[in-house]
Amino acid sequence: MDKIIVEGGRPLRGRVEINGAKNAALPILASALLTDGWNTYHNVPGLKDIESIKDLLAQLGAAVESNGRSVRVNAAGLCCPEASYELVRKMRASVLVLGPLLARLKKARVSLPGGCAIGARPINLHLKGLALLGADIKLEHGYVEASAGVLKGNEIDLDVPTVTGTENLLMAAVMAEGRTVLRNAAREPEIVALAETLKAMGADIQGAGTAVITIEGVPKLHPAETRIIPDRIEAGTFMVAAALTGGDIEVVNCDPEHLGAVFHKLRQAGAQVRVGDGAVRVLGPETLHSVDIKTTPYPGFPTDMQAQFMVLMSVAGGLSVISETIFENRFIHVSELRRLGADVMVSGNTAMVRGVSHLSGAPVMATDLRASASLVLAGLVARGVTEVRRVYHLDRGYEAIEKKFAQLGAVIRREKE
């Protein structure tokens, strides 16, 4: 296992290029299962999770070819519709093959993903929606056994605007007979990106990006070529790094439209945020102000930016109240940040962060993807050396993050544990 060693105290300056979005690439790669020809995807990020979904597609019988940041997938040879526990436990987003397998083969056997560090993360709403489309769903031996004679459009009201639930149901409905109306759908940019790809494949979808999505089933879809949208969470992570280190970073290849809530909080904290065309320049202030945060579904403040923002608040003047409303256990990074000197009290889904004059470097342990990013951020501003261990969590969602920070002036390196 690798670890990242970072020496804090340097303002980060320069230009950083943002990669394609992991959480857009995963459902879009899964959507290739809906066709029997070559789909081509550009700007695919080089991440562990992308390797995992490519392995899964190959295991299902699809042909997968990679060439740098372009990936081609041909599911003509789709044969065994089973996503094994071995694969799904490594990456819960593997459940995204459930909808397309049902749509294409009318059967699927997918391991239940189980919980993860940040919460129980059930998929009950995915399954309820698929059942409303006519699928017969059985849960046996830790697997979802789904089958359908025919999938028929229906009205589906989601209790929670689940992101991958919306994506699974979109992919299940595009070739169902008749109309499907998905209410309380997730509105994330990654949903819009998937819908645009499905429409390029011949699907009839209206309302993606709003809370009500209408899908008119079509008999067949054809392959398409698409470019993955920029990763708004990677972009936001570097913007926080600029604010945190009193730096000046130009974040390019990002879509400012996707980051309104993050800009708002960065500005409240005292950073300058200059929005350009496909690029954003963030300048950190002399002193940071405390800001209250509440994570909510898009377009609210993203839960995937909560840990990063907590680091910012840990060295801001005053008290910040951070409410995590999406996941029940997404404060795991708090105990590690405390080792670095942060003053954080957690009560239920609320964290009270009292700013301190400085953090001090220490060995810390990564536990989940975004918590790992927050520990690297903390190391960038802590006095002395911070060692972040178990960075395989980080590699799932950030491509060579230490190289990008080094290019911005950080003293940071990766070592074998």
| Type of residue numbered 317 | G
| Least distance CB 163 / ligand EPZ (angstroms) | 4
User: Which token pair is 23?
Assistant: 């959480």
Q: Should residue 163 be labelled a site residue for ligand EPZ when binding is judged by CB under 6 A?
A: yes
Q: Should residue 165 be labelled a site residue for ligand EPZ when binding is judged by CB under 6 A?
A: yes
Region near ligand EPZ per CB under 6 A, out of 124-132, 284-292, 355-363, 398-406:
124-132
Binder among 14, 77, 119, 318 for ligand EPZ (CB under 6 A): 119
Region near ligand EPZ per CB under 6 A, out of 100-108, 155-163, 206-214, 408-416:
155-163
Binder among 5, 12, 16, 26 for ligand EPZ (CB under 6 A): 26
Match 């301190």 to its residue by tokens: 356
| Least distance CB 155 / ligand EPZ (angstroms) | 17
Taking every pair of Cα atoms in the chain, the longest distance, rounded to a whole number of angstroms, is 64
Can the peptide bond before residue 299 be classed as cis, meaning omega within 30 degrees of 0? yes
Q: Which of 197, 217, 205, 212 is closest to 151 using CA atoms? A: 217
Q: Should residue 324 be labelled a site residue for ligand EPZ when binding is judged by CB under 6 A?
A: no
CA geometry: angle 75, 216, 144, nearest 5 deg: 50
The contacts of residue 305 (CB under 8 Å, 6+ apart) are 233, 236, 237, 240, 262, 295, 370
Residue 64 burial by CB count (10 A; 0-12/13-18/19+): exposed, middle or buried?
middle
Segment 255 to 314, residues that bind ligand EPZ, using CB under 6 A? 303-304
Q: Should residue 76 be labelled a site residue for ligand EPZ when binding is judged by CB under 6 A?
A: no
The verdict on whether 116 is a catalytic residue reads yes
Q: Should residue 125 be labelled a site residue for ligand EPZ when binding is judged by CB under 6 A?
A: yes
User: Which token pair is 383?
Assistant: 């006095």
Nearer CB in complex with ligand EPZ: 207/409: 207
Region near ligand EPZ per CB under 6 A, out of 28-36, 159-167, 257-265, 312-320:
159-167
Q: Which of 141, 81, 142 is closest to 115 using CA atoms? A: 142
Nearer CB in complex with ligand EPZ: 162/290: 162
**Residue-wise burial string across 122-147, b where 16 or more C-beta atoms lie within 10 A, e elsewhere:** ebebbbbbbebbbbebeeeeebbebe
Q: Should residue 93 be labelled a site residue for ligand EPZ when binding is judged by CB under 6 A?
A: yes
Total residues contacting ligand EPZ by CB under 6 A comes to: 24
Torsion-angle region of residue 209: left (phi > 0), alpha (psi -120 to 50) or beta? left
Rounded to whole angstroms, how far apart are CA atoms 382 and 379? Answer: 5
Q: Should residue 121 be labelled a site residue for ligand EPZ when binding is judged by CB under 6 A?
A: yes
Q: Should residue 111 be labelled a site residue for ligand EPZ when binding is judged by CB under 6 A?
A: no
Q: Should residue 374 be labelled a site residue for ligand EPZ when binding is judged by CB under 6 A?
A: no
| Least distance CB 296 / ligand EPZ (angstroms) | 10
Region near ligand EPZ per CB under 6 A, out of 75-83, 161-169, 247-255, 403-411:
161-169
Q: Should residue 232 be labelled a site residue for ligand EPZ when binding is judged by CB under 6 A?
A: no
E strand or H helix that includes residue 26: helix 22-30
Nearer CB in complex with ligand EPZ: 10/393: 393
Q: Should residue 397 be labelled a site residue for ligand EPZ when binding is judged by CB under 6 A?
A: yes
Strand pairing partners for 15?
Answer: 250
Q: Should residue 115 be labelled a site residue for ligand EPZ when binding is judged by CB under 6 A?
A: no
Binder among 58, 76, 160, 400 for ligand EPZ (CB under 6 A): 160
Q: Should residue 361 be labelled a site residue for ligand EPZ when binding is judged by CB under 6 A?
A: no
Write out the DSSP string of 39-76.
EEEES----HHHHHHHHHHHHTT-EEEEETTEEEEE-T
Contact residues toward ligand EPZ (CB under 6 A) are 22-23, 26, 93, 119-126, 160, 162-165, 303-304, 326-327, 369-370, 397
